[in-house]
Structures are given as C-alpha cells and as structure tokens.
C-alpha cells in the first residue's frame, strides 16, 4: 500500500469478506486460480494490486487506519429493493 497511488474502498454487505476473497484468491501466485485479481495483476507477494481483509474484525481495524469516520458514507442498494415508481 505504499509503492504508488492507492484507491482505498470499503465494501459492505452479506458475505462481503468471503466474496471479495474469492475474487482475489491466494496471495501465493502459484496457488492463485486464473482470472483472479492476484493471478492476473500481481507480480510478487510484495508487489500486487489488491488487498483484502481476512475477517470482519480485521477490516474494522484496517478501516480505522485508512479512513476517518467523516470519509465513510452509507448507501442503500436500491437495486435489491426493486424498481421505484415515479411520483
């Protein structure tokens, strides 16, 4: 997180840690599956494009290190609620 520009984001939702870790896969390139973030965009364990917390508790600690509470915004997934009618 220190060798270049960083775009830090906080994701939320049901099973978000499990889902995001499935997209990223192993931090060992030899074990990462094709078409995963680690396999496609990383060159070494210390030179990679992605970081993902291993647990909700870990994410909470890491969020506090990177963000102030005023920088975080809550949003509602309106797609999950279905289409809205015009008033």
Q: What is the set of active-site residues? A: 51
User: If 0-12 CB within 10 Å is exposed, 13-18 middle and 19+ buried, where does residue 38 land?
Assistant: buried
Contact 38, 32 (CB under 8 A): yes
The phi-psi region of residue 35 (left if phi > 0; otherwise alpha if psi is between -120 and 50; otherwise beta) is left
């Amino acid at each position: 997180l220190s060798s270049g520009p960083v775009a830090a984001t906080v994701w939320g939702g049901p099973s978000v840690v499990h889902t995001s870790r499935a997209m990223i896969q192993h931090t060992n390139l030899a074990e990462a599956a094709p078409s995963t973030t680690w396999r496609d965009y990383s060159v070494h364990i210390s030179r990679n494009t992605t970081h993902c917390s291993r647990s909700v508790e870990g994410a909470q600690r890491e969020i506090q290190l990177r963000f102030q509470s005023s920088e975080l915004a809550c949003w509602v997934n309106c797609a999950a609620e279905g289409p809205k009618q015009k008033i």
